[in-house]
């Protein structure tokens, strides 16, 4: 009787989580709703209670490193649902999953059916052993589980109609593109200037073009594709940390004087209703600010030198001459219903730099806030600038194997449809 009771409760929780994800737009198709209702998620997350396993927005950590950081997890249902929607998987497809957990591979096996194939690969043999055991034990022995560094893909079973990456990736290795079919698609949590988005990328010849992008968080890739961001401690302590994804400023010591100057605060009049997601602001600022980075303040060492609303995470930038830095922060309006965005700056030209950053905030509000978000295009490394048309209204982020272009189509008129799902931003 207790086993039946637990299974009945699990079935009820699956129904609830699907209803919740349909309501928030993470699930939009019958196929994805069906697999999440069907596959017993809790059996692939035995480390968690039923309630923890079926929490719509929380992952289940399955392995930590020696420092206690998560290195493997079962992703939150919301993340898995919208990535499956981004992939648009159909029966009979051949799919490669990069990053094994077991559950997502079971979803994929249900979606491709008996005529399809699913291969899942992970660099950690403990993770693949666990995934293989859970898949076989729960009715999915047909899924191939491969222990390997996924930087080179899995050529033995290529080509793939879809590649779904379930670890945070800084770059797109060439093998991931060459192992796709000509009409194939990659869904990847791609890190761009320190911001991660689950990007659905359609192959067009030798490059990839986005069809959608959604905010996400994943444990970082290990092995050949691993990439650490670089940090700069502004005060020589952990009080204020700037984190850069594409290299430190040319002379970081120039900022030593910046922290000795008074803080300048410039407010923009750009407001967002409290609790409403801010569409695309982060990626827009990452596109237009050359010295873009993120800032964190240690609350135990905080002297009040900077005053962000969110001490754990704020958008920031260093001026082109390397002598000033600024960060974006909201403040509540008098009636506590709106946030107004502003730029705080420190340095010898703090006023001018704060005004420059504030104008970018106003440009986003005026030209892109209600638009579809950026077009993300991935070209092979070495592609000449004149072969990247997105450079005309965007920027290129150069990585080891690829050039990632971010461009910004204008917002549609009020009576037009937005072409794809807007990006929901990290809270500030």
DSSP 336: S
The whole-angstrom separation of Cα 154 and Cα 148 is 8
- Minimal CA–CA distance to 266: which of 156, 392, 359, 395? 359
Find the catalytic residue in 55, 72, 73, 75: 75
The whole-angstrom separation of Cα 6 and Cα 16 is 15
Q: Contacts for 248-255 with beta carbons within 8 Å, 24 or more apart?
A: 249/291, 249/318, 249/322, 250/322, 251/322, 252/322, 254/321, 254/322, 254/323, 255/318, 255/322, 255/323, 255/325, 255/347
Q: Assess whether 75 carries a catalytic annotation.
A: yes
Strand pairing partners for 233? 241
Structure tokens of 149? 């560094």
Structure tokens of 296? 């964190």
Is residue 338 within 8 Å of 271, Cβ to Cβ?
Answer: yes
Strands (E), 251-319: 264-273, 292-297, 314-318
The whole-angstrom separation of Cα 177 and Cα 159 is 10
Q: Indicate the SS3 state at residue 117.
A: strand
Instruction: Report phi then psi at 231, rounded to 5.
Output: -120, 150
Q: Alpha helix (H) ranges present in 113-259?
A: 125-137, 174-178
Q: Indicate the SS3 state at residue 171.
A: coil
- Minimal CA–CA distance to 216: which of 422, 423, 399, 33? 423
Q: Indicate the SS3 state at residue 366.
A: helix
Which positions are annotated as active-site residues?
A: 75
């Amino acid at each position: 009787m207790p086993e039946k009771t637990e299974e009945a409760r699990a079935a009820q929780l699956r129904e609830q989580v699907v209803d919740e994800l349909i309501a928030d737009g993470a699930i939009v198709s019958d196929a994805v709703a069906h697999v999440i209702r069907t596959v017993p998620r809790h059996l692939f997350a035995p480390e968690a209670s039923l309630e923890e396993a079926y929490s719509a927005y929380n992952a289940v950590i399955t392995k930590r490193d020696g420092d206690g950081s998560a290195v493997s997890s079962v992703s939150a249902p919301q993340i898995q649902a919208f990535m499956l929607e981004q992939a648009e998987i159909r029966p009979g497809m051949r799919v490669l999953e990069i990053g094994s957990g077991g559950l997502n591979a079971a979803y994929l096996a249900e979606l491709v059916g008996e005529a399809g194939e699913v291969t899942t690969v992970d660099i950690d043999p403990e993770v693949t052993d666990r995934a293989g055991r859970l898949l076989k034990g729960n009715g999915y022995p047909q899924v191939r589980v491969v222990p390997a560094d996924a930087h080179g893909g899995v050529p033995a079973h290529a080509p793939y109609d879809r590649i779904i990456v379930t670890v945070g990736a800084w770059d797109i290795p060439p093998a991931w593109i060459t192992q796709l079919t000509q009409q194939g698609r990659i869904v990847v949590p791609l890190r761009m200037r320190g911001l991660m988005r689950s990007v659905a990328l359609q192959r067009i010849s030798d490059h990839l073009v986005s069809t959608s992008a959604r905010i996400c968080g994943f444990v970082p890739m290990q092995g050949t594709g691993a990439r650490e961001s670089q940090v700069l401690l502004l005060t020589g302590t952990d009080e204020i940390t700037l984190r850069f994804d594409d290299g430190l400023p040319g002379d970081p010591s120039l900022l030593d004087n910046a922290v000795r100057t008074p803080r300048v605060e410039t407010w923009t009049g750009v407001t967002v209703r409290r609790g409403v997601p801010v569409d695309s602001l982060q990626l827009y600022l990452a596109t237009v600010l050359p010295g873009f980075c993120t800032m964190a303040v240690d609350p135990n060492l905080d002297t009040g030198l900077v005053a962000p609303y969110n001490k754990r995470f704020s958008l920031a930038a260093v001026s082109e001459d390397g002598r000033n830095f600024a960060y974006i922060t909201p403040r509540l309006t008098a009636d506590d219903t709106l946030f107004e965005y502003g730029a705080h700056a420190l340095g010898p030209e703090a006023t001018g730099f704060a005004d420059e950053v504030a104008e970018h905030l106003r440009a986003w509000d005026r030209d892109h806030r209600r638009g579809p978000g950026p077009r993300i295009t991935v070209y092979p490394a070495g592609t000449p600038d004149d072969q990247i048309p997105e450079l005309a209204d965007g920027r290129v982020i150069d990585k080891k194997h690829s050039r990632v272009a971010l461009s910004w189509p204008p917002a549609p008129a009020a009576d037009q449809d937005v072409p794809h799902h807007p990006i929901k931003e990290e809270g500030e």
